[in-house]
Amino acid sequence: MRHIPKAEYSARFIELDHRGYVWKDQVYQRLVSEYSITKISWEQLLQDYVKECKNHCVPFPHLIEMLTELKKSGFALGIITNGYGQLQMNHIRALGIASYVDVIVISEWEGIKKPDARIFYRALNKLHCHPHESVYVGDHPINDLKAARAVGMTGIWKRDAQWNDVDADAMVDELGEIPMVVQNLSYITKLHT
């Protein structure tokens, strides 16, 4: 087996991972095949990933400050995420944000995933909230913004250099901008009702 440079392996992992939209069993199977890895199986690599990934979670800047400010303002908060239930909960706990949110809806446990409208309605029902009273912040143009807006939620785009021309009600570069944007959107909504 040849030595695989870490940078090369990491870059290929990220490419195959497709920003988290390809489950890691497929990623590791491809890596093992492409690099002719024989001393460890893709199953062992996947098991290591599931066990250790939570130890490498890196939040966007201002995450806790944003959540704190929204909670202080009286907003009910929820998370809708695609992925495997326990793995996603491990990430949420590792980021230290579980105590800030009132509802966590994870696709594996719900049996549906974004962009399916039902997952948004389930979260809204658990929050006892109507779509027109809700704001969804996301970074994927289809799974997050288009889907949330299709059910009647206000959509805030967390800009991502990968996509341009995202249809959203508001856009932010940093999470720290969200409380003010939400307050402004709430004020505008009250003016029109």
Look at residue 163 in the predicted model and tell me its pLDDT. 86
Which residue is it, tokens 């996509």?
163
- Domain ranges within the chain, ordered by starting residue: 6-55, 63-191
Look at residue 19 in the predicted model and tell me its pLDDT. 80
Q: How far apart are CA 162 and CA 160, in angstroms?
A: 5
Tell me whether the omega of the peptide bond preceding residue 179 falls within 30 degrees of 0, making it cis: no
Q: How far apart are CA 75 and CA 137, in angstroms?
A: 14
CATH architecture of 63-191: 3-Layer(aba) Sandwich (3.40)
Which regions of the chain are under pLDDT 70?
Answer: 1, 187-193
What does the block give as tokens for 80?
């809708």
Look at residue 6 in the predicted model and tell me its pLDDT. 94
Look at residue 192 in the predicted model and tell me its pLDDT. 41
pTM (two decimals): 0.87
Question: Which of 96-127 are b and which e, b meaning 16 or more Cβ less than 10 Å from the residue's Cβ?
Answer: ebeebbebbbbbeebebbbbbeebbebbbeeb
